[in-house]
């Protein structure tokens, strides 16, 4: 349980314990967090959210767009947009949700643009960097990521948000802008498509 929580990529900016963000934590914020977040201006919010969540957001975007440079640009654009829209945020406590949704939407836009570009000038995807992991081999991981990349965009988003960001169905639905039933459908279909590859891993 503690390992799983330590592995959770998304944390609140003022959360030093690295607690995972679930539905309860998103919807019900503590009074101290409200007070701290409400007193932030846009620059402070960008700085705090960057130090807490920038890496996780970049990794989330990498899993969606499969390119580190593009993922960083996507996340930076999301931070800039959040900075300009900071005064319009009714609930600053949901700035992380705003950032996550912005990253997903921008990653989707990047993929849409990339599909158009590759349609006329096809070129290979950038190579994913290799990493050591004791649980699975590099080959298996590459196969899974490759199979994940071949999924439709909605299914890939649902799987990444579910199994990497560890979001609940309600949060995934809010982030993707779809219903919870659609989230279940996309997740089930994506897992069914990855079953053959995942069976080899298990």
Partner 1 sequence: MTDPLDAYGDALRRALHAEADAVVPAPDGLDRIRTRISERRRRFGWGWFTETWGRPAMALAAAAFIALIAISATPAMNAIEGITAGDRGSANEGPDRSVGNGTSVPGHGGAPGQPYPGGPAIPAPTSSPTPQTPPTVGVPTCQPSAAAGATASGSPSSPPSCTSPQPPVSSPPDPVTTPPTEPPASDTPSATSEPPAQPEQPHQGEQQGQP
Binding mask 19-58 for partner 1 (x = CB under 8 A): ------------------------x--xx--xx--xx--x
Written in H, E and C, the secondary structure of the chain is CHHHHHCCCCCCCCCCCCCCCCHHHHHCCCHHHHHHHHCCCHHHHHHHHHHHHHHHHHHHHHHHHCCHHHHHHHHHHHHHHHHHCCCCCCCHHHHHHHHHHHHHHHHHHHHHHHHHHHHHCCCCCCCCCCCCCCCCCHHHHHHHHHHHHCCCHHHHHHHHHHHCCCCCHHHHHHHHCCCHHHHHHHHHHHHHHHHHHHHHHC
Total residues binding partner 1 (CB under 8 A): 48
Stretch that binds partner 1, among 21-29, 31-39, 62-70, 174-182 (CB under 8 A): 62-70
- Shortest Cβ 15–partner 1 spacing (Å): 19
140 binding partner 1? (CB under 8 A): yes
Which CB sits closer to partner 1, 7 or 177? 7
Residue from 6, 7, 113, 118 that binds partner 1 (CB under 8 A)?
7
Interacting residue ranges for partner 1, rule: CB under 8 A: 7, 9, 43, 46-47, 50-51, 54-55, 58-60, 62-63, 68, 71-72, 75-77, 79-80, 83-84, 128-131, 133, 135-136, 140-141, 144-145, 148, 159-160, 162-164, 191, 194-195, 198-199, 201-202
């Amino acid at each position: 349980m503690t390992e799983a929580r330590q592995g959770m990529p998304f944390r609140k900016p003022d959360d030093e314990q690295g607690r995972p963000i679930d539905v309860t934590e998103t919807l019900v914020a503590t009074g101290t967090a409200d007070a701290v977040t409400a007193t932030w201006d846009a620059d402070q919010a960008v700085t705090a959210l960057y130090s807490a969540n920038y890496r996780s957001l970049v990794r989330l975007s990498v899993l969606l767009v499969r390119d580190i440079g593009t993922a960083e640009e996507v996340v930076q654009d999301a931070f800039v947009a959040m900075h300009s829209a900071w005064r319009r945020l009714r609930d600053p406590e949901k700035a992380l949700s705003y950032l996550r949704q912005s990253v997903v939407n921008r990653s989707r836009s990047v993929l849409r643009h990339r599909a158009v570009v590759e349609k006329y000038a096809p070129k290979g995807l950038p190579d994913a960097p290799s990493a050591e992991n004791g649980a699975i081999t590099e080959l298996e991981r590459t196969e899974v990521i490759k199979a994940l990349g071949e999924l439709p965009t909605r299914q890939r988003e649902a799987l990444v948000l579910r199994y990497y960001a560890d979001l609940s169905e309600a949060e995934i639905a809010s982030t993707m802008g779809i219903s919870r039933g659609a989230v279940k459908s996309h997740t089930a279909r994506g897992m069914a498509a990855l079953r053959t590859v995942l069976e080899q891993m298990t």
